[in-house]
Structure 1
Amino acid sequence: MNNTSLLLDPSDNVGVALTDLEPGQKVSLNGVEIEIQEFVAAKHKFAMRDFQLGEDILMYGTIVGEATQPIPVGHAITLQNIHHKVREYTADPGKFAWSAPDVSKWRNRTFNGYLRSDNQAGTANYWLVLPMVFCENTNVLLLKEAFENALGFATPNPYEVQIKNLISGVQGKKITETVADTAVAEENRIFENLDGIRFLTHDLGCGGTRYDAETLCALLAGYINHPNVAGATVLSLGCQNAQTSIMLDKLAKIQKGKAKPLVICEQQQEGTTEVLIQKAIRETFEGLVEANKIKRQPVPLSKLVIGLECGGSDGFSGISANPTLGRVSDLVVALGGSAILSEFPELCGAEQNLINRCADQQMADKFIHLMETYNDAAKRVGSGFDMNPSPGNIKDGLLTDAIKSCGAAKKGGSAPIADILDYTEYLKNPGLNLLCTPGNDVESTTGLAGSGANVILFTTGLGTPTGNPVCPVIKVSTNTKMANRMPDIIDFNAGTIISGEDDLESAGDKLLDLVIQVASGEVTTKAEKNKNYDFIPWKRGVSL
């Protein structure tokens, strides 16, 4: 890789700055030498030729924008001289042939997971406590404090001493207390085969549309059915839109094998809060005893279900981290496993490539329908897909949604598409799946776990602490500078591709090794260590 600039596709007419480029500096790409005419910041793009008003801007071999004024060769591409534009697509998937990567060295590899009766394999073993409606959030938190303190899952807050020292400055007292090490809490754990109890809260379940309530029920059913969940405790008020019966019906449609232990407590039926909590504790404890009997065992890599996510993206995302995820996705699919690519607003501009990879016309039509319906709904409230890039994305080189999307789609590798899933649809077919979620990081990762991902790979160029309550989230940095600045949230640095230390194949292989270690419980992700248990259901309807 050129150490100053890059041409992503031979047909592109703009280059990418890998380092800051100064006026007068000469770069050579695809046999063409040009002189930079104005400062181009790293991650941003520059004109490889003169552009006239209305001409197409090409990156990744496709249209990602249109010139809104003449742009001389060697000048920076900015929001002042281009705007969003995408290539028109056709609905015909045509013929597609895939050259699968060589996976011979992975064939006999396994990870130590929790094999469930439905043949799913967990990368962790959790008990889940969740509310059907926001009215039960307080009771969920009461259970959280009681169980975590009693069972040794609680960890000291490292900032408590800092606050006490500030108090001491006001009171004139000296604080000598130190925060206990997390290992102390680990020693007090009662259930050695239980990785934790996860407590969800949310602001839905009533007061919105019936559609939102039904969607919530389907999402919660997906979490109960998740391979990393051994059983669940459900708290219900009783009168809400999101009825337990709806959730149980959704669960019955997706669960296979022996039903998991399920504790259901309805407050309006039980009476007092004390009676409700005591019943929840008693029956949950019985479930924990059963969950603790499950032990890790070697399972094939075909049991991996990799969620593919990006957030806080930058101009290097589509060059380093996202293609690295694409390599891992292709390897897992070639091994008989599954990958799920999410965030439909960030596939705008990459539609034709994905349509071409659909297995049949019905699948292509479903993808187009979900994309167009979603985009039209966004336009009705004044925010189409073209408004997806955030201020941080734009500042770091992702000027249009098409630029962002064509880089984001790289997470899906090159494998054929096995299925198209709407939000809350549970994984059915192994291989690469597309899941309709928002670009919002937490809403999307929440959806990935709800559809069965047992490990999530999450790329970031700007840094984000996002995690998930039931699924380990491995953070992959697009650049070394950010990885060094935020080591507390980054698990893997793909910035070595930009510096030339790694190519996509070696970086992808190293990342798959890390995935296996995380899936086996040998490595704890930074999001897990930081307790980034983020859970936000996607509210698709309108609040009333």
Structure 2
Amino acid sequence: MKKVIQINSLDNVLVALKDLKSGETIEHEDKSITLINEIKAKHKFTIQEIDIGEHILMYGTVVGKALKNLPAGAAITTENIEHATNTFDAKRGSYSWKAPDVSKFTNRTFNGYHRKDGQVGTGNYWLVIPLVFCENRNVDIIKHAFLEELGFAKPNPFKNLVKQMKETITISGPDKIESLSFENAANTGDSRFFDNVDGIKFLTHQGGCGGTRQDAEMLCALIAGYLNNPNVAGGTILSLGCQNAQVALLEKRLNQINPQFSKPLVILEQQKEGTETALLTKAITKTFLGMAEANLEQRKPAPLSKLCIGLECGGSDGFSGISANPTLGHVSDILSALGGKTILAEFPELCGVEQELINRCEQESSAEKFAGLMKAYAGVAEKVGSGFDMNPSPGNIKDGLITDAIKSAGAAKKGGSSPIMDVLDYGEYVQKPGLNLLCTPGNDVESTTGLAGSGANIILFTTGLGTPTGNPITPVIKVSSNSELAAKMPDIIDFDTGKIITGEKSIEESGEQLMEMIIKVASGEVQPKAVILGQDDFIPWKRGVSL
């Protein structure tokens, strides 16, 4: 296994692939570099002398600026460099792209649910969601009425732990409780009443009224996107009646996304129905009948061009941009070459690579839209005393991502190298095959929530530290950047790219193997860990400052 890697020939730092000792000599090309400091795996050190004010280069781009003179072999830290990026402007030149060899996948299919509008779902879910937080309680009542009776409830094995503790403290006292042995075994049994319905999903939130009108409009756009997502067979919408997020606004947004929308949809307003009993009786009856209709759908073969894959990262580390994210990038390029759709989100984590992405935009209008969204987002953050440079979390920094530009340059690798066909604002629905950019926060759940609302029927989620995140309607496949994480947290990790770090596997090999897993997940043959664990995270972005 190699000790270090230079990601791009222009870089003036190396990345440690394993822990390196102070005083150790590293041979790199024609240089012998003696380390001034101990360098932990995932962290970086200088190849040459860098004077104060000079730029730090990684991935061939500016990711920081030296705060002091740095000798060759010096660790780069938050104390000796700060965030810095290149500026960006209009699209420059034309972009050429060599598509990967996709002969292995050209005639492949997955078994999905075909919708009347031509979309194909990787799942078949019924959705229950309120237009306003006032209806959350009613949604919960419906939830408890349905889940166990229809076989969708996930058993809570920790109830048995509490039972054991009750018995132990009664018989032996509290001192014996910590000696109890308990294993949390995931239940993968299936006792569904509706065999062809993968689940009934209940989404609650704190929006719909009391905020800005823009927040209400954004929420309606998001809900419309969820209803239109091919993984959703139909839905039940509960409205109070007097809130900002009006039914008419939802219907308008739904018509804008899909004028031919024809899925079964139940919409009820409590202030029209009268008593809660009347509302809930009608909601439960109509929902049950809608699910019976959804149960008539069956999986059928579909070309891989019907996949729409969201590209996400969270809990990233210094290896994410070397292994896991480039693996997703290769998958994105494969899907683009096959005529499928991919969506790269998290605009705060594209800070510093804007010009590269602008140059990849197929249309001038898309380049201008991306630049405008980035500048507006950054401006709002700066106005409240924040900024994209404050995006890296303590965990990111500890594991080698010490500036937002370093994090962003690695995060952008999820988008591969194909042309960018469209740029979407939060709540806009994907239309064009190929790579799309979607304006979301870097916040994991706000971003995955947005990806599903824009039409993703699979989400790939890379992590170097471990993130227990999922989505209610779109399967989330967790991809680890290192094998240590995959071994430590096998309950949340689905796919390991750590062999890229050790040199045992190429990015292309890893990407093709991940494609095979995607096909199995899309066909319902394999359930990602997030689905097994019931990680149904849903947080709409209120368009405020969220990094």
Taking structure 1 as the reference length, the TM-score comes to 0.97
Contact kept, 8 Å, 1:40 with 1:76, in 2: the verdict is yes
| Deviation of the 1:531 alpha carbon | 0.6
3-state secondary structure, aligned to 1:111: strand
Say whether the 8 Å CA contact 1:209–1:541 is kept in structure 2. Answer: no
Question: Does 1:76 find its partner at 2:75?
Answer: yes
- Percent of residue pairs identical: 60
1: CA distance between counterparts of 2:313 and 2:391? 13
- Partner residue, 2:284: 281
CA distance in 2 between partners of 1:126 and 1:202 (Å): 19
Q: Residue in 2 aligned with 1:444?
A: 447
Aligned length: 539
Match of 1:394 in 2: 397
Conservation of the 8 A alpha-carbon contact between 1:13 and 1:57: yes
| Residue number in structure 2 paired with 1:339 | 342
Preserved contact between residue 350 and residue 405 of structure 1 (Cα < 8 Å): yes
Give the equivalent residue in structure 2 for 1:50: 49
Amino acid paired to 1:55 = E
Correspondent of 1:182 among 171, 182, 187 = 187
CA distance in 2, matches of 1:447, 1:183: 28
2:363–2:421 Cα contact (<8 Å) kept: no
Question: Equivalent residue for 2:543?
Answer: 540
Q: Is the 8 A contact 2:255 2:261 kept in 1?
A: no
* Higher deviation after alignment, 450-459 or 18-27: 18-27
| 2:119 corresponds to | 120
2:223 is equivalent to residue 220 of structure 1: yes
Q: Is the 8 A contact 1:367 1:420 kept in 2?
A: yes
Equivalent position of 2:177 in the other structure: none
Q: Give unmatched runs, 5+ long, in structure 2.
A: 174-179
Q: 189-198 vs 433-442, which deviates more?
A: 189-198
Which residues of 2 match residues 493-532 of structure 1 at below 5 A? 493-532=496-535
Q: Is the 8 A contact 2:94 2:359 kept in 1?
A: yes
CA offsets 1:396-453 (integer angstroms, 9 cap, x no match): 0001010000000000000000000000000111110000000000000000000000
Are 1:416 and 2:415 matched, yes or no? Answer: no
Secondary structure (helix, strand or coil) at the match of 1:308 reads strand
> More displaced, 162-171 or 62-71?
162-171
Structure 1 equivalent of residue 58 of structure 2: 59
**What's the counterpart of residue 387 of structure 2?**
384
Q: How far 1:149 moved relative to its partner?
A: 1.1
Give, as a single letter, the amino acid of the residue that structure 2 aligns with 1:310.
C
Q: Secondary structure at the match of 1:346?
A: helix
- Cα offset, 1:90, TM superposition: 2.5
**432-441 vs 167-176, which moves further:** 167-176
User: Retained in 2: the 8 A contact 1:208–1:541?
Assistant: no
Report matched runs for 1:17-28 at 5 Å.
17-28=16-27
In structure 2, relative to structure 1, the CA distance for the partners of 1:183 and 1:72 (3 Å cut) is: closer
Q: 2:437 aligns with which of 423, 427, 434?
A: 434
Letter in 2 for 1:506: E
Provide the C-alpha distance between the structure 2 equivalents of 1:180 and 1:265, rounded to a whole number of angstroms.
39
Unpaired runs of 5+ in structure 1? none
> Residue 109 of structure 1 aligns with which residue?
108
Q: Counterparts of 1:381 and 1:258 in 2: how far apart (Å)?
A: 40
- Which residue does the alignment assign to 1:91? 90
Once the 2 structures are TM-superposed, how far is the Cα of residue 273 of structure 1 from its aligned partner? 1.0
For residue 290 of structure 1, what is the aligned residue in structure 2? 293
Shift of 1:25: 1.6
1:404 alignment partner AA: K
CA distance in 2, matches of 1:34, 1:352: 33
Distance 1:26 1:56 in 2: 24
Q: Given that residues 86 and 349 in structure 1 are in contact (C-alpha distance below 8 angstroms), is that contact kept between their aligned partners in structure 2?
A: yes
Instruction: For 1:450-489, list aligned pairs within 5 A.
Output: 450-489=453-492
| Structure 1 SS opposite 2:149 | helix
Does 1:407 find its partner at 2:410?
yes
- Tell me by how many angstroms 1:183 deviates: 5.3
Aligned to 2:358: 355
Three-state SS of the structure 2 residue aligned to 1:182 is coil
- The aligned residue for residue 136 of structure 2 is 137
RMSD, aligned CA:
1.8
Which residue identity is paired with 1:134?
Answer: F
Instruction: Supply the AA of the counterpart residue of 2:391.
Output: N
